[in-house]
Amino acid sequence: MKKKKKILVVEDEANLCLLYREELTKEGYEVTAVTNAQRALDLIKKGDFDLIITDIRMPAKDGVELIGEVMQIRRDIPVIINTAYESYRYDFLTWAADAYLIKSASLKELKAKIKELIG
């Protein structure tokens, strides 16, 4: 049996964490969802994720800082920025991410990008 791809979702809105976990689990992924960047970093140091999806605006440490720290720990993990804010797209620190998506009620674009990056 093929091993499920593991996705880490970093999103400070708990209801979105639940939505992403539910939707991506239906797509056949193993999903871990956390509500802050520090928890995500702790998990990344311990676990082996195939993909990280992160919001940008979060309390304490934001998504841009998270990406910077992830690059120091595991440069090989693809990262998708999934945010409501278009403006960060032009922040060169976000360019380290493999994709920059604007949050939408439909998860079609997000699911398509995940498939493109990790199958």
Q: How many CB atoms lie within 10 A of CB 101?
A: 17
Whether 105 is in a domain gets the answer: yes
Total number of domains constituting the chain: 1
Which of these, 103, 57, 97, lies nearest to 78 by C-alpha position? 97
Whether 1 is in a domain gets the answer: no
Whether 31 is in a domain gets the answer: yes
Model confidence, pTM: 0.93
Whether 116 is in a domain gets the answer: no
Whether 118 is in a domain gets the answer: no
108 to each of 11, 24, 68, 72, how far by Cα in Å? 18, 11, 27, 30
Whether 67 is in a domain gets the answer: yes
Number of residues assigned to the chain? 119
Kindly report the CATH number assigned to the domain that includes residue 21. 3.40.50.2300
- 15-55 tens-digit pLDDT: 999 999 999 999 999 999 999 999 999 999 998 999 999 99
- 53-82 tens-digit pLDDT: 999 999 889 999 999 999 999 889 999 999
Residue-range definition of the domain harbouring residue 38:
6-111
pLDDT grade, residue 89 (50/70/90)? Answer: confident
